[in-house]
Amino acid sequence: MAIAPDTSPLPLLIPEAELRAYNTLGVTARAAWFASARSEAEVVAVVREAHKRDLPLLVVGGGSNLVLQGDYPGLVLHMATQGRRKVREDDQHVWFEVAAGENWHQLVTSTLAEGYSGLENLALIPGSVGAAPIQNIGAYGVELDSVFEELRAIDRQSGVSVTFDRAACAFGYRDSIFKSRLRDRYVITHVTLRLRKQPCLVLTYPALRDALAGVPEADLTPQRVAEAVCEVRTSKLPDPREIPNVGSFFKNPVVSADVYQRLKADFSGVVAYAQPDGRYKLAAGWLIDRAGWRGHTEPSGVGVHPRQALVITNSGHASGAEVMALAERIRASIKTEFGVDLEPEPTVVGW
């Protein structure tokens, strides 16, 4: 399909740009071309320029869910768009349209400070707002789709803006249509969220309940829940600014009841959570820990964090290929020992 001409302003295109600052794993890689867009019009201009030059286009935000296996031969678009506006409200809810380049945790803290709830369990998740629907980010019993209303995205083929409602996004566990059928087809520019004016706290996650066990009921506010979430996360997950990582490297695998019963019989203490459909979600961190990987370090500096086996770290400035080599060894080990397949959670470019 031919892309229509446009006069939108094209931001500066930088050749042979270093990408280490744009991925929290600290991988050194270069992009043939790089542009940072600060408005929707600039996003459209970059999409059209990539189409005109027949260049592959990689969109990055905070880079907290990205593994670069090598240099990128196309154009990297960094989403630097900012802004948030209230689009409507009723007696119970308020709807905010948020630019894709906004920092997710800053959005959580600012909306809580204004008295709105719904995002408290998702505090301290790294990354940008535009990446949140792609991954259907979730933590401590809450996923993005519970507060999601719609998003706006630019079609890479036509340059036209398209709106997706909740159903069209086909959300699943750490999944959406943008990771499957529509992968690399759209650039998300805005996300609209529906937040509550009165709190409805979700305290089903065991670690979160434990962290709030001594808090009087009158003090159980969304702000206090967010603080507890931050405390739990910092106790388990390393700060990528100090130890490069992309958070949880593997999804928690969902298995049949028969597989769970087999594992339960063969391995005492296996951690799993019953699902509404009768299947079980296994704790990938428990599997990796039980297989002996926690605290393991490679000569390159790539390793498994000593406090959280789900986290692969890169303290030695290793390449993305070295990171994925360790991930593959872990996956093979889990398959051999438990008969369970692990799926990487981050987006892997060039793998």
Q: Which residues are catalytic?
A: 174, 248, 345
Whether the Cβ atoms of residue 284 and residue 263 lie closer than 8 Å to each other: no
Whether the Cβ atoms of residue 255 and residue 270 lie closer than 8 Å to each other: no
Structure tokens at 272: 């799993």
Whether the Cβ atoms of residue 163 and residue 151 lie closer than 8 Å to each other: yes
Counting every residue written for the chain, the total comes to 351
Whether the Cβ atoms of residue 72 and residue 320 lie closer than 8 Å to each other: no
b/e map 308-342, b = 16+ CB within 10 Å: bbbbbbbbeebbbebbbebbeebbebbeeebebeb
Cα 178 to Cα 157: distance, rounded to the nearest angstrom: 15
Cα 33 to Cα 137: distance, rounded to the nearest angstrom: 29
Query: What residues contact 329, with CB distance under 8 A and at least 6 apart?
Result: none
Query: What residues contact 50, with CB distance under 8 A and at least 6 apart?
Result: 56, 57, 74, 75, 77, 156
b/e map 163-184, b = 16+ CB within 10 Å: ebebeebbbeebbbbbbeebee
